[in-house]
Chains A and B, each alone.
Chain A
Amino acid sequence: MKQVNEAELISRLRDPQTQRRAFEDVVNIYGQSLYWQIRRMVTYHDDADDVLQNTFVKAWSSLHTFRGDSKLQTWLFRIAYNEALTFLSHQHETISIDTSPLGDDDDEGSTLTLANTLQSDPYFDGDETEALLQAAIASLPSKQRAVFTMKYYQEMKYEDMSEITGTSVGALKASYHLAVKKIEDFFHQHD
């Protein structure tokens, strides 16, 4: 990520004369890291792109609510986190409606389908184990999925995660360890 003079950037964001240009810099600076945070939660590129667009639209329209209590990056990550959760909950509702008569066996089937689909996805270049890991992550409840990806891939501090998710550090640690256990169990079942 580029070096940012955050105070100067925030000051430009608050000035109506310079805020649009400053926001362009925000997209330029934080766009990639936000994309990867979202992508690890929602798995597919097209979905990640949609959620990222929504994140920036929301950030732009609620710029006046940013008071500077937290870092600009934390504020943006929080919006992205909430947008991704909203997306996942809609997706879950749609899948539940489509598969509700089939029950748990179908969940198992859809998880394995995800692993297979990923391997034929042009924007996935992992091997079978990595596809299974993504399927295992996708099988977690959405908040736990977010906690796992932030810790495992982004190696984010629990304190920063707490600011983004609004969850206590203790609860996040417990959630991460539970997620790891579930993923390991998933691998044992599919070994």
Chain B
Amino acid sequence: MKQKFNIDQLEKRNPFTTPKGYFENLTERVMSQLPEEPRAEQNQTASKVVELKSHNRAAKRSRITWFLTTAAAACIAGAFFWVTSSGPDIQNGTGSQSTQQALAQNNTNMQEDEYGYDEYSEEALSYALVDEADIYNYLSGAGM
């Protein structure tokens, strides 16, 4: 019957070796690879982190400014589209019915504006060549 293998029956010895003189030269080789000051490397890393953080803050500020500017431009463009698209109806209308239609349309637009998003703002955003994905990318930093 085959005997069950038992790890304790193995002779416990180190089967590994090293190149000749490896440990004699180890200290010299290790020391030659170290920076002069122990914290020099860490300080460099710290300054990089600080630099990175300040860069991130500046980038964030820049993104917020860009977003506010775009939002303002979108509002102005929205107003411009509204005036140009509804203007001719108002100007060309001869009776009170077309004026009322224009006003009704305006009211609908105002109701939609309360939800913050309507076809005009969509047009305005398209005009500015900006879509939601772009805004999310800029805000999340993916575009950086």
Q: Is A178 an interface residue, CB under 8 A from the partner?
A: no
Quick check: is A129 within 8 A (CB to CB) of the other chain?
Answer: yes
Q: Is A188 an interface residue (CB 8 A)?
A: yes
**In the complex, B142 has a CB within 8 A of chain A:** no
Whether A39 contacts B16 by the Cβ 8 Å rule is: yes
Query: Is the CB–CB distance between A187 and B18 below 8 Å?
Result: no
Distance between Cα atoms of A59 and B4 in the complex (Å): 44
Also in contact, A31 and B27, with CB within 8 A (given A63-B38, A184-B5, A188-B5):
yes
Q: What is the interface size of chain A, counting residues whose CB is below 8 A from a CB of the partner?
A: 42
Q: Does A168 contact B (CB under 8 A)?
A: no
The dominant DSSP class at the B interface is loop
Point out the residues of chain A lying under 8 angstroms from B7, CB to CB: 152, 180, 183-184
Say which size band chain B's interface belongs to. 20 to 34
Q: Is residue B19 within 8 Å, beta carbon to beta carbon, of the partner chain?
A: yes
> Considering the chains assembled together, what is the distance between the CA atoms of A63 and B41 in angstroms?
11
A129 touches B10 (CB 8 A): yes
- CB contacts (< 8 Å) of A134 on chain B: these are 15
Chain B residues with CB under 8 Å of A187's CB are 5
Q: Judging by beta carbons under 8 Å apart, are B16 and A124 in contact?
A: yes
Check: B17 CB closer than 8 A to any chain A CB. yes
What is the distance, in angstroms, from A66's C-beta to the closest C-beta of chain B?
Answer: 10
Q: In the bound complex, do residue A64 and residue B38 qualify as a contact, i.e. CB atoms below 8 Å apart?
A: yes
A60 and B17 alpha carbons, distance in the complex (Å): 27
Task: Enumerate chain A residues within 8 angstroms of B14, measured Cβ to Cβ.
Answer: 36, 153
- B35 touches A (CB below 8 Å): yes
Would B17 and A123 count as touching, CB distance under 8 A? yes
Contact between B19 and A23, CB atoms less than 8 A apart: no
B26 interface contact, C-beta 8 A: yes
B30 interface contact, C-beta 8 A: yes
* B34→A57 contact, CB < 8 A: yes
- In the complex, what residues of A have CB within 8 A of residue B94's CB? none
Contacts A24-B27, A24-B31, A27-B27 given; indicate if A124 touches B5 (C-beta within 8 A). Answer: no
For A136, give the chain B residue with the smallest CB separation. Answer: B7
List B residues 21-43 near A (Cβ within 8 Å). 22-23, 26-27, 29-31, 33-42
Chain B contacts to A: CB under 8 angstroms? 2, 4-7, 10, 12-19, 22-23, 26-27, 29-31, 33-42
User: Interface on A for B, CB 8 Å cutoff?
Assistant: 16, 19-20, 23-24, 27-28, 31-32, 35-36, 39-40, 45, 49, 52-53, 56-57, 60-64, 122-126, 129-131, 133-134, 152-153, 180, 183-184, 187-188, 191
Task: Provide 16 A-B residue pairs closer than 8 Å at the C-beta atoms, listed in order of the A residue.
Answer: A20-B31, A23-B38, A24-B31, A27-B31, A31-B30, A35-B26, A45-B22, A57-B34, A60-B35, A61-B35, A61-B38, A63-B39, A123-B17, A130-B15, A183-B7, A187-B5
